[in-house]
Amino acid sequence: MTSLFDLFVGVRGSKGLLAEEWVVMAVPKRSTSKAKSRSRRASSWRLMAPAASLCPTCSSPKRPHYVCPSCGYYKGRQALEVEA
Ligand SMILES: [Zn+2]
């Protein structure tokens, strides 16, 4: 990945043995575009589908760590009574 920052390295008095290298602090190479900062801020608002797994008892989709809504089983035992 290309760096957003450039170290400015200069050489002063570059004649023979008097050459002296100096470095100033890192400075952004270009300002962050509107699209870049807006998409960064929008990432916290993004809607995500809830995690899904298959029930080991009835193999219908359910949320992990939740009682299965279709058979009422959790950890291999009947945790809820579900009307058929
Ligand atoms: Zn189930």
What does the pLDDT look like over 22-41, one tens digit per residue?
677 888 999 999 999 999 99
Residue 39: its pLDDT value, please? 92
Q: Residue 16 — φ and ψ, nearest 5°?
A: 65, -135
Q: How far is the CA of 59 from the centre of ligand 1 (A)?
A: 6
What does the pLDDT look like over 48-80, one tens digit per residue?
888 999 999 999 999 999 999 999 999 988 888
Q: How far is the CA of 57 from the centre of ligand 1 (A)?
A: 5
Over residues 10-32, mean pLDDT: 71
Structure tokens at 69: 């809504």
Q: How far is the CA of 84 from the centre of ligand 1 (A)?
A: 12
Reduced to 3 states (helix: H, G, I; strand: E, B; else coil), residue 28 is strand
Q: How far is the CA of 70 from the centre of ligand 1 (A)?
A: 5
Q: Phi-psi bin for 22: left (phi > 0), alpha (psi -120 to 50), beta?
A: beta
Q: How far is the CA of 47 from the centre of ligand 1 (A)?
A: 26
Q: Which residues make Cβ contacts (< 8 Å) with residue 19, sequence separation at least 6?
A: 11, 12, 13
